[in-house]
Amino acid sequence: MKTQIETALAPRPIGAYSQGVRIGNTIQVSGQVGLHPATSSLAGETTYGQAVQTLRNVRAILQEADADFDDVLMLRVYLQSPGAFAELNRAFEETLSEPYPARTTLYGGLPPGVLVEIDALAVVSGTGE
């Protein structure tokens, strides 16, 4: 059974998709950007600032499904510029703990002003039912 995950602590979807979905013990969090959920404004003009807020948004959705970063197997990152990789890594090091999730990073193709987007795949104990 597929269950929608929704929280006011992360930005609302702007299209036909869920913030996250859960099937059994698997959770997929949709791509999140560095928007503050209360104001819908971007968290600054740096990759670091937007990445920190993006990770907060991902965590809020995970926590709504009774999960957290410790349950995350894979993070997929879309980064506007390869030159911002160090800022991205700093945000990850300050937010996540070892062992870090697996990660793929792709470059380019983000909307104007958006410097990073992150989605997550998590597996938790129990069935979620």
- Count how many domains the chain has: 1
> Does 128 reside within a domain?
no
pTM: 0.94
**69 to each of 32, 33, 35, 126, how far by Cα in Å?**
15, 17, 19, 16
> Does 70 reside within a domain?
yes
CATH classification at residue 47: 3.30.1330.40
Residue 98, exposed/middle/buried by CB under 10 A (0-12, 13-18, 19+)?
exposed
Amino acid at 119: D
pLDDT at residue 125, rounded to an integer: 82
Which pLDDT tens digits describe the chain residue by residue (129 residues)? Answer: 999 999 999 999 989 999 999 999 999 999 999 999 999 999 999 999 999 999 999 999 999 999 999 999 999 999 999 999 999 999 999 999 999 999 999 999 999 999 999 999 999 986 544
